[in-house]
Structure 1
Amino acid sequence: MITTEITKLQYDIYGLLAERRLKDAFGKLALLVNELQDWVSRDKLNEMETSYRYMIQYMLDGVEDPERKSIYDHLVLSAYVLTDRVSDRLAGQVSPSQYYGWKRYASASRTGISLSSQFDVCDNEINDLSLALLLGEQEQDFSKIQSLKHRIEDTAGNLFMDIWTNYPAAEEDYRSLREALFTDRFPDTFVSLLLSAVLLNLLHRFDEQKLLILLDGYRHSSPEIQMRSLCCALIVMYIYRERLPLLKSLRNRLDALCEEPKFKTDVRNIFLQFIKSQETEKITRKMNEELLPEMMKLGPSLYKKIRQEDLMNDINALEENPEWQEMLDKSGITDKLKELTDLQMEGADVFMSTFSHLKSFPFFQSIQNWFLPFNPDHTALSGVLSGKGGDTFKKMISASALLCNSDKYSFCLSLAQVPESQRDLMMGQFSAENAAVQEMEKEELMKKEISRENISNRYIQDLYRFFKLYIRRTEFTDPFAGHINLLHVSVLNPLLSDSDSLRLIGEYYFRRGYYAEALELFERLSAAYHSDSEIYQKIGFCYQKKGDYANALEAFLKAEIISPDNFWTIRRIATCYRNMKKPEMALSYYHRAEKIQPENLSVQMNIGHCYVEQKDYEEALKYYFKVDYLDPEGGKAWRPIAWCSFLVGKKEQAQRYYEKILDDKPVSLDYFNAGHVEFSLGHIRKAIDYYRRSIELDNGDSAKFLSNFKQDAPDLIASGIAASDMPILLDQLMYGITDSL
């Protein structure tokens, strides 16, 4: 089998096990086992299938077995484990991926090297570096210190790879991991790095013990390790949510963690940050497709608006020039920048588009470097952050809450491309700001609680960059490919199902336009809050956004019962009836809305539309004229007035309005309808000219024009045009178009 065939079978079996279709799962698993040709795996599969047949037989015989569910769950879990083991061994024989490449390399050239021995080596190297750094500045051997740092980084990199590819794990491996991660044996930065290796390992193949190790990380004394461990654990739990209910040890561990005072809040905050991560692609697209092109277009105009002496003498002229601000406002850039600033204040990832182009440095070719907590003394930055102001710069970028660790490395590595003289000048500027930095340190950049949120938010951004930008990213299971919805992880329900959490998460989804997810939560809330009209309003709005007007109407009607005179609800009910092609019902609600807000132009327009849909054009005109009277410069009602006037035979009135429309910003349909009016008035040449312009504005689509003309033929005949004249006019129109070609 090739890799794709193995992977397909593997996920087919996962799907069958999730649906608890054990017989079919055993059948597909047999295909993998037969391909492996391993008698131990074959015996294990035969044993599971035999046990399952006996269970079925006992049930058929009416035998009461209180352990039946427990045994069944164990069989399903065993099938998952065997699928993982067999598919992994098969893929190891043929896969060219980095994962299996490292396993083959380690097997061939690093035999006998265990995780425990690797941890011992790294421990000794860290101790050697600590001793070297204890010497006075004059006595320190810089080259030796750099060499020790290189060795530690190389050993950490090898450990990262070994932990990532540690499958299946032995009991000694679990013990070594627990000791290394949670006994304060190693620095927090080292432990933080290795947690990411455990995450990648679990995304490759599930391991119950390693998931428990991640959850144990939440009890660590360091907030950095707590939040990273929890982020990793929640991602793994979402990816493997179908098998988690089978793990009794996991449920027990979660029950114990629920006793921790901050656990529930941290889970909820991380969940909200997962939702934010879904915004990253939208923000990147907005930056690349909207904001940056607009600013590029604005550049030449902006330069002309600023006096040369201002540019040379006062750089702040850019901020103070009112004409510049006016240009920004008119172009829409101001609004876009404000939107991005607001998103940034909420913790959204607004720097992905900026730093995605700075991930091509050799530093990022090593997989472990994507997950490193920022360390300004990393050897990859040697010499970059030295010079005047370098120490201050290190403090400022290390303390920055705006950039994730990966982007901090990108930024510093990009400084290496700057000429040394300019880099020193920039560092000097940071040195001048040293007093401000010290003040920031005194005030503590962030409160402790915000710091926990910041740790998890920046780590999620690091993960997002790896799965989206790493050169071999296609070899990994990308947890951000879909939406990480922790509400679909049943074992987490006790943490997220209280009304406060449901409301908070639901509102979060709602504000960001994830209406299907918001709907699910508001529906759950409505079961407990029968008299909350706002919940029913939002349920209706979510259904309306999905195009399900029947269910939207049902929800809005419930909201109306609770708050009968709510203008917004009444309008939404009317809108639903219109979309359901029930104009008479819509009209009754629009009239109710009219009583509440008599001069609301939108309501007046919609009343007119309802009369048009009932073919009562005279009545419709009354409301359209009212809109035109209340807003004579807006032109909102010109088109319906013109068309209705034509339909009721007021051709000159229709002609006047179409002239106003064509003098404004006409579209293809405007010329099309104006042509009808001129045709009915006997102005054949003018009609043909308008029809020709209509076709031109519609990209020369004559077929579409003829189809629309055919649909309007009854209205044209009703206006007094002879049916026999229409084909003649159309032929003349087509002759003219052909001749112009």
Structure 2
Amino acid sequence: MNKFIDQLEIVFSDIIVNKDLFSALKDIKVFFRANGVTQYDDRVEEVESGYNLMKDYMSRGYKDEMRESLYFDMLRKLYTVAFDSSNDVLVSNSRYYFTAEEKSSKINLNEEDISGKFEGYVQDMAMASLQPDNIQHEIEEKITHEHQVYLSVLFDSIIVSPYWNEGICDKMTATLLNPMLDVSDILNILSGITLSSTYLFDYWRFKTLYNVFLGSVDENIRQRAFVGWAFLLNTYGITLFKEAKNLFVDALKNTTTDLRHQLYELQLQLIYCSDAEQDNENIQKNIMPDLLRNGNFKITRSGIVETEENSVDDIIHSDEDDKKMEQMEQSFNKMLDMQKQGSDIYFGGFSQMKNFPFFLKISNWFAPFDVDSPSLSDVRGKLGKMKLLDSLYRSNSFCDSDKYSFAFAIVSIVDQIPENMREMMNTADFFGMSSDDSNSQSPTYIRRRYLQDLYRFFKLNHYRSEFGSPFIDSNVTDDKIMLLSDLVKYDEFSNEILSLAKFALKHQRWNLLDVLLSHFKLTDELIKKKLDYESLKWHYYLMGALLMHRHMYAAACESYKSLLILDGLQKSNIDRNQLIFNSTTEFIDFPIDCIDLESSKESVLKSYALSALRSGDNTLAAECYRILSKKNSLFKYKLYHAIALIGEEDADSALSILFPLDIERDDTNVKRTLAWALLVKKDYEKAEKYYDKLLLFDSIVADDYLNSGYCKWILNKNSEAIISFKNWMSTKKSADSVSDAFNSDNNILIAAGISDIDIKLMIDLVNE
């Protein structure tokens, strides 16, 4: 929560987390006394009286079927008091809130005729268009300026307004769905509502956004309302309101919204947008150098073309030019691919262009780009007949915030722009996308551009710390993932949740995968009834991958085993109710062996095999890799099969695999495994020869020195053994001592007749 609201955190915890009305009343009164707050005394007293009356009725033995409902009503009433009080704290301690409160003090959302004001603006502009040409422009500018001032004040008023009521919700809904209003004004107000709800949940703000999302016929309005509404799904306090849950359920039932998919898509867009700084770093380090290095090419609207300034050397070395051209195209296409998947590739450039006076007003960060905006009057004057603003307006490449930045920045260099560049600027597709782009008004594109506006605000605005950012940083937390809202049930959103988890695995976002699987834990009911087989199998596969990443190999093996049990039950059509579920580990078991490794999918079996190998279950690993080698004669399957057999102390079988592999491929890992197999088999002379060869390669690993030392020691070449062990000590990455290594490989040493005294002496010699 915001550092200023932290002062009320105990009260909010009493209400939201503990549902403890008695403690909440006590703690809020303590807070009010400590801060000299008296304006909420009547509201607190009303709740306290109701609570005391409820206790009195209960003490007399009355049974009240409405008791629980009334109790939660009182909790919600006290929550609104705490909400309004937290607003006061923000106004007193926050630079923006204090200024906004002063500016908007004359606007009371309960009484303000917002719709009438906006309708009046539209009518005034219509009347101004009928005025003579010599005064029309001046009248329009005056009307627009006054309107922009009012819009900015209204925006501030919404931000600092206390907890809404049904009347404000109805009025705002009617205003935002009024077809007579300018769409730009509606979009700006929606951003104000979203920004005012970043810390604490307001049901009536939530419902207003919901009403607009479902009720508007304009896709830009619908998507801006949807984004704000979706952000509120994880806002602190939502669990207190059953009405919010009912709205969410209604939205799921609405067949026209496809809410599940839209939430999933928005979540992915939010993740991509949150990566803007990382993407910019990637572009600067890995893409731009290639583009800049090839100076004899230029990027045009038609693609990449070669300049005409070719020297004789260029003609002679045309192959080199072809390579440069190909490299440049690849780099350019990388950026385009990043943009197509949702990356914010322009953030780096435009992040330096947010210091214009226009951006001093918070509302302007969310203003739709308007060629006729009063803020652009100087820009229009300097550009003259150039159609740059029209081209910028039609462009789908930039978000609105960046369009304003570009417009303000270009006028500072307009006099230096060459004539040929001016001509290009007058073309409709100067900015890379023409106005007839069929995707420009799709929900996906609309949301993406708006998210970029929001991202710039939460990253660059001077007041950004006074609001709760919905964007994800390096440490993913539950409150930044809208699919982790308490309103979202695993069985209802399993496809979307698992798709997000698969995305996390594919892109190695382990923190995100961990948060998802930690939040959506399996239960006996989910296992036996609510989730289908495919969802459960995917859950265990993803869990296994996460556990492998954490080096928890035995647990990963159990996770993959659970998957294979489910696979066996599904194929055999056996009732899932017979499953034994462990609620602590989330793993399952079955009274009889129903796992059929032979018919298991290769992708699952190889994960199961690797987890078994890493966890030390060599018997299971050997069996899995034997089957995998039959399914697919991959080199790594054969090698891992041999490693597992060595672990089972079946060196002969391992060598029967390794010798052909060594002939087939000159691979150091094969030689390394072969040498170890010979060492386990007690064929020390041959093992020594293999280790001697390995130590001549560049790809030496520390354990090559260790195992070579064992061979030398066993063969009584002790001086060479000491050198090998010392080399191991100097190259190893682990914190293990030579004593730790000898303990770990004690079975090898005992089998070779190395005594405890020999080991003690060798440790002393190596450590000298």
Tell me if both proteins adopt one fold, taking TM over 0.5 as the criterion.
yes
Q: Is structure 2 residue 183 aligned with structure 1 residue 188?
A: yes
Q: Specify whether residues 653 and 232 from structure 1 end up closer, same or farther in structure 2 by C-alpha distance, changes over 3 A only.
A: same
Q: Is structure 2 residue 255 aligned with structure 1 residue 269?
A: no
In the alignment, the residues of structure 1 paired with residue 402 and residue 430 of structure 2 have an alpha-carbon distance, to the nearest angstrom, of 25
Partner of residue 641 from structure 1, selected from 653, 668, 674? 674
In the alignment, the residues of structure 2 paired with residue 240 and residue 729 of structure 1 have an alpha-carbon distance, to the nearest angstrom, of 63
Moved more, 28-37 or 10-19: 10-19
Contact 2:210 2:229 in 1 (8 A): yes
Q: Specify whether residues 172 and 404 from structure 1 end up closer, same or farther in structure 2 by C-alpha distance, changes over 3 A only.
A: same
Match of 1:20 in 2: 19
Deviations 1:618-647 (A, max 9, x none): 4433333344344x1343322222233234
Match of 1:246 in 2: 242
Contact 1:115 1:162 in 2 (8 A): no
Match of 1:555 in 2: 563
Q: Is structure 2 residue 605 aligned with structure 1 residue 570?
A: yes
Letter in 2 for 1:509: A
- Give 1:271 shift: 3.9
Moved more, 362-371 or 73-82: 362-371
Match of 1:460 in 2: 451
Deviations 1:346-395 (A, max 9, x none): 4354444454344344433321122111223434444557648842x444
SS at match of 1:401: coil
Q: List aligned pairs for 1:122-137, cutoff 5 A.
A: 131-132=127-128
Partner of residue 475 from structure 1, selected from 435, 452, 466? 466
Moved more, 510-519 or 96-105: 510-519
Letter in 2 for 1:292: Q
Partner of residue 221 from structure 1, selected from 194, 217, 221? 217
Structure 1: state its 5+ residue gaps.
Answer: 736-741
Q: Specify whether residues 268 and 712 from structure 1 end up closer, same or farther in structure 2 by C-alpha distance, changes over 3 A only.
A: closer
Q: Which has the higher helix share?
A: 1
In the alignment, the residues of structure 2 paired with residue 608 and residue 313 of structure 1 have an alpha-carbon distance, to the nearest angstrom, of 61
Q: Specify whether residues 421 and 41 from structure 1 end up closer, same or farther in structure 2 by C-alpha distance, changes over 3 A only.
A: closer
In the alignment, the residues of structure 1 paired with residue 292 and residue 245 of structure 2 have an alpha-carbon distance, to the nearest angstrom, of 63
Partner of residue 582 from structure 1, selected from 617, 640, 643? 617
Q: List aligned pairs for 1:167-182, cutoff 5 A.
A: 167-168=162-163, 177-178=172-173, 180-182=175-177
Match of 1:738 in 2: none
Q: List aligned pairs for 1:117-516, cutoff 5 A.
A: 131-132=127-128, 139=134, 149-168=144-163, 177-178=172-173, 180-203=175-198, 205-218=200-213, 219-240=215-236, 242-243=238-239, 245-247=241-243, 261-263=255-257, 265-266=258-259, 268-282=261-275, 284-288=277-281, 290=282, 292-295=284-287, 313=309, 321-324=321-324, 341-342=336-337, 344-382=339-377, 384=379, 387=383, 390-391=386-387, 393-418=388-413, 420-422=415-417, 425-432=420-427, 441=435, 444-446=436-438, 451-481=442-472, 482=477, 484-489=480-485, 502-513=494-505, 514-515=512-513
Letter in 2 for 1:294: N
Contact 2:297 2:307 in 1 (8 A): no
Normalising to structure 1: TM-score of the pair?
0.79
Contact 2:729 2:738 in 1 (8 A): no
Letter in 1 for 2:32: V
Q: Specify whether residues 445 and 4 from structure 1 end up closer, same or farther in structure 2 by C-alpha distance, changes over 3 A only.
A: closer
Contact 1:6 1:32 in 2 (8 A): no
Q: Specify whether residues 522 and 662 from structure 1 end up closer, same or farther in structure 2 by C-alpha distance, changes over 3 A only.
A: farther
Deviations 1:477-520 (A, max 9, x none): 22335455445556676xx965xx64245324323335457654
SS at match of 1:479: coil
Moved more, 210-219 or 379-388: 379-388
Match of 2:30 in 1: 31
Contact 1:526 1:535 in 2 (8 A): no
Partner of residue 687 from structure 2, selected from 639, 654, 657? 654
Match of 1:602 in 2: 636
SS at match of 1:445: coil
Match of 2:582 in 1: none
SS at match of 2:9: helix
Structure 2: state its 5+ residue gaps.
Answer: 299-304, 506-511, 548-554, 572-595
Deviations 1:321-359 (A, max 9, x none): 44347878xxxx96x987765554343544444543443
In the alignment, the residues of structure 2 paired with residue 688 and residue 299 of structure 1 have an alpha-carbon distance, to the nearest angstrom, of 54
Deviations 1:12-60 (A, max 9, x none): 5246433323333333223223234455634543443453354356457
- Give 1:528 shift: 5.9
Q: Specify whether residues 206 and 69 from structure 1 end up closer, same or farther in structure 2 by C-alpha distance, changes over 3 A only.
A: same
- Give 1:231 shift: 1.9
SS at match of 1:313: coil
Match of 1:739 in 2: none
- Give 1:397 shift: 3.4
In the alignment, the residues of structure 2 paired with residue 319 and residue 592 of structure 1 have an alpha-carbon distance, to the nearest angstrom, of 49
- Give 1:554 shift: 1.4
Number of aligned residue pairs: give it: 705
Contact 1:284 1:350 in 2 (8 A): no
- Give 1:125 shift: 5.7
- Give 1:539 shift: 1.9
Match of 2:62 in 1: 63
Letter in 1 for 2:645: Y
- Give 1:195 shift: 1.2
Q: Specify whether residues 241 and 40 from structure 1 end up closer, same or farther in structure 2 by C-alpha distance, changes over 3 A only.
A: closer
SS at match of 1:203: coil
- Give 1:193 shift: 0.5
Partner of residue 593 from structure 1, selected from 610, 614, 628? 628
In the alignment, the residues of structure 2 paired with residue 401 and residue 626 of structure 1 have an alpha-carbon distance, to the nearest angstrom, of 60
In the alignment, the residues of structure 1 paired with residue 234 and residue 532 of structure 2 have an alpha-carbon distance, to the nearest angstrom, of 34
Letter in 1 for 2:394: A
Contact 1:238 1:489 in 2 (8 A): yes
Deviations 1:390-435 (A, max 9, x none): 42x4444333334322233334344345453327643422435669
Give the percent of matched residue pairs that are identical in Structure 1 and Structure 2. 19
Letter in 1 for 2:460: L
What is the root-mean-square deviation of aligned Cα atoms in Å? 4.6
In the alignment, the residues of structure 1 paired with residue 722 and residue 415 of structure 2 have an alpha-carbon distance, to the nearest angstrom, of 71
- Give 1:187 shift: 0.8
- Give 1:291 shift: 5.1
Moved more, 11-20 or 63-72: 11-20
In the alignment, the residues of structure 1 paired with residue 297 and residue 223 of structure 2 have an alpha-carbon distance, to the nearest angstrom, of 50
Contact 1:387 1:427 in 2 (8 A): no
Deviations 1:186-214 (A, max 9, x none): 31001110111122223355443333322
- Give 1:83 shift: 1.6
- Give 1:61 shift: 6.0
Deviations 1:261-288 (A, max 9, x none): 523x256314421233123344642552
- Give 1:730 shift: 6.5
Q: Specify whether residues 657 and 11 from structure 1 end up closer, same or farther in structure 2 by C-alpha distance, changes over 3 A only.
A: farther
Q: Specify whether residues 151 and 61 from structure 1 end up closer, same or farther in structure 2 by C-alpha distance, changes over 3 A only.
A: closer
In the alignment, the residues of structure 1 paired with residue 307 and residue 711 of structure 2 have an alpha-carbon distance, to the nearest angstrom, of 57
Match of 2:541 in 1: 541
Contact 1:591 1:607 in 2 (8 A): yes
Q: Specify whether residues 77 and 662 from structure 1 end up closer, same or farther in structure 2 by C-alpha distance, changes over 3 A only.
A: farther
